[in-house]
Structures are given as structure tokens and as C-alpha cells.
Amino acid sequence: MTDNKKFVIGSRGSKLSLAYSRYVKNLLLKSNPQFDDNSIDIKIIKTTGDIFKNKKISNIGGKGVFSKQIEDELLGSKINLAVHALKDLPSKMTDGLCINAVLKRNDPRDAFLSHISKSFFKLKSQSKVGTSSFRRKAQLNSLRNDINIIPMRGNIDTRITKLKNREFDAIVLSLAGLKMLNLENEAREVFTVDQMLPAIGQGAIALQCRKNDQKTLNIIKMVNDKESYYCIDAERALLEAIGGDCDTAVGGLAKLSNETIVLKSELFSNDGNKKFEVQCSGHFKEAKKIGYKAGKELLKKAGSDFKAQGN
């Protein structure tokens, strides 16, 4: 930068998180002439989700387990910018912070990986499929009810290693994460969004900073992808409306075309056996209203079959 102070990006320490942060760093270098390679540092910050790798997300707090410690560093001015996989963030923004930029969204779909089958639909009955996501578990069970869905935590490398060690017959991961790590060839099949509606914000990288940090706000404005930003706005409003978090069995995907956002969403009952679907659309400048409307309609359909954690 023009002064001698470093611009510090806060990141989780997983390979995927660091790949996201390095990608952001390179974009900032290209778009902001005040930077050179030595003026931006990446600081690794351990989150609760990273520390307690083998516990269920719901058992270690649910909301914010992959972001709270990074946000604390932001609020304490120890870092200038936080880079998150947007789907890891709680729906309600922490006071004093904001997400005013997201990068162009990567492919949001889910991928099937297996050492015994080229397709989820050709797996033998009672095969073991690993996932830590309530959403994926409910969706997979709705596609096939003869498969054993086994809880699985860990980063992408850890999960792929467990698969190759035959601890599971198959696993399901984000295609965007595989692509970021150049591991897309590991995927045997990619689910359509009709088969498995992605998690809210899946495939999107969020740039978070302090609301009053105009300098950083100006810097990240240069790399914001407006189409992705409006779509994410709608999806996160939906999540906030239902009081959900990254551990809620909800799927949502917004697409923007000719100034119109179309938001498809689905919510599963707490036992995962019932699915409720809503589609809403409107002008992209009303993205949040569209999301809130979809969320409220989902809650109305679900009734007593759904109750957000902590409520």
C-alpha cells in the first residue's frame, strides 16, 4: 500500500480456505495498483470448527463455528479483511461488520465421489455415504431411502482420504471446493440442482470487513461481482427469515436474468422426512425482499415440522 502498513487478510487454515484467500489476494493485486506482493499478508486464524474437528457442528454451537474467531480479529482491527466460504457464515451479520463484496460465484452444485460406483443411483443398497450436512443427508434420503448416510467431518483432503481408505463407499462434497483445489477429477457424478438444491451461498466467496473501514470498502468494491452479490443477498435473506444457519437442512439458489431474480428454495422438516418448496421472483434491486418472502412462505408451509435451532 502507499504507507508501510501491511494489508492483512484473515483466513481459516485449511487448504481450501487458504486457496480462497490466495485467490482473493491475487485479485486485489490485479485490481488495486497501490498493492504489491509484499504489502498483503494472509493470517491463519483457528475457528471453533477447526479446533473440534470430530464433533458435530450442532454440538459445538452451530452458528458461527467457522467464523466467530475471524470476526473477532476483524472487530479488534487485527486484520483488515476476512475471507469466508459464504455458506459457513451465520445468516445474521455481526454488529459492526458487513459483506459488501462477493467474488464471481463458482459452480454451486454438489459432487458425488466413490471408489465403487460411477453414480449415486447405482450404489448398492445399504452403501455407506459420508456427509456432515443435514441438508445433504435429507436430500440424499429423499432420492434413495436404502442408503446409509454416515456423519463425516473434516476438510476436503481428509474426507477424500477417508474415502480412499474404504471407510466410506462414497461421499458428497461441494463441486466448487473441488474445483478450487484442482480436484474436480475426483468427482464421479455431479448432482443437478433439481436433484440436490445447493446450500445457501454455496460456491460463493464472501469478503467481510468493518462497516466503518472505508479504505477497505473501496478496495474490495473493485472485485465485487454484482450479479453474484444480488443473488447471495436473496439467499441470505431467506436463511435469516427462517432463523437458519450453516447446519440447517435448507437449500436455496438464486439466479439473475434480464434484471429478474428467481429464487428456488426447499426446507426439510426437523426429522428430514418432509420437504417444503417455494419459488419467488422479482427485480434484482429487491433481492432481500424476495429472500424474506421465500423464507416466510417456507416457514408457513413447514409449520410445526420445522423449528430453527436455538428457537
The CATH number given to whatever domain includes residue 238 is: 3.30.160.40
Please tell me which residue, 210 or 49, carries the higher pLDDT value. Answer: 210
Rounded (5°) CA angle 71-75-78: 90
CA distance 14 to 218: 28
**In terms of domains, do 184 and 142 share one?**
yes
Specify the pLDDT at position 50.
52
Checking if the pLDDT of 246 tops 80, the result is no
How many domains does the structure of the chain reveal? 3
| Structural domain range at position 119 | 110-190
Specify the pLDDT at position 51.
42
Q: Quickly state the pLDDT bin for 109 (edges 50, 70, 90).
A: very high
Cell of 134: 443435514
Query: Which of 3, 72, 88, 225 is an active site residue?
Result: 88
Q: Quickly state the pLDDT bin for 34 (edges 50, 70, 90).
A: confident
Please list, in sequence order, all residues whose beta carbon lies within 8 angstroms of the beta carbon of residue 212, skipping any fewer than 6 positions away.
96
**In terms of domains, do 164 and 79 share one?**
no
Decide if 198 is inside a domain: no
**In terms of domains, do 101 and 124 share one?**
no
Specify the pLDDT at position 159.
92
**In terms of domains, do 230 and 291 share one?**
yes
Q: Which residues pair with 255 in a beta bridge?
A: 262
Please list, in sequence order, all residues whose beta carbon lies within 8 angstroms of the beta carbon of residue 221, skipping any fewer than 6 positions away.
100, 101
Mean pLDDT of the chain: 90
Q: Tell me the Ramachandran region of residue 190: left when phi exceeds 0, alpha when psi lies from -120 to 50, beta otherwise.
A: beta
Specify the pLDDT at position 52.
40
CB 176 within 8 A of CB 92: no
CA distance 135 to 196: 9
Checking if the pLDDT of 247 tops 50, the result is yes
Decide if 42 is inside a domain: yes
- pLDDT, tens digit, for every residue of 211-221? 999 999 999 99
Mean of the pLDDT values across residues 182-188?
Answer: 96
Decide if 90 is inside a domain: yes
**In terms of domains, do 3 and 18 share one?**
yes
**In terms of domains, do 9 and 144 share one?**
no
Checking if the pLDDT of 14 tops 90, the result is no
Rounded (5°) CA angle 214-216-220: 120
Q: In this structure, what CATH number is given to the domain that contains residue 159?
A: 3.40.190.10
**In terms of domains, do 133 and 154 share one?**
yes
Specify the pLDDT at position 5.
80
Mean of the pLDDT values across residues 50-55?
Answer: 47
Mean of the pLDDT values across residues 5-32?
Answer: 93
Q: Are strands 110-114 and 148-151 parallel, antiparallel or unpaired?
A: unpaired
**In terms of domains, do 217 and 255 share one?**
no
Decide if 212 is inside a domain: yes
Least confident among 124-128, 149-153, 178-182, 307-311:
307-311
Specify the pLDDT at position 60.
39
- Closest to 298 (Cα-Cα) out of 229, 240, 230, 245: 240
Checking if the pLDDT of 268 tops 50, the result is yes
Structural Rg of the chain based on CA atoms: 19
CB 154 within 8 A of CB 53: yes
- As a whole-number percent, the residues of the chain with pLDDT over 90 amount to 75
**In terms of domains, do 148 and 184 share one?**
yes
CB 263 within 8 A of CB 279: yes
Mean of the pLDDT values across residues 29-34?
Answer: 91
88 is catalytic: yes
- Closest to 170 (Cα-Cα) out of 211, 138, 140, 139: 140
Mean of the pLDDT values across residues 239-254?
Answer: 88
Please tell me which residue, 70 or 290, carries the higher pLDDT value. Answer: 290
Q: Quickly state the pLDDT bin for 155 (edges 50, 70, 90).
A: confident
Mean of the pLDDT values across residues 299-308?
Answer: 88
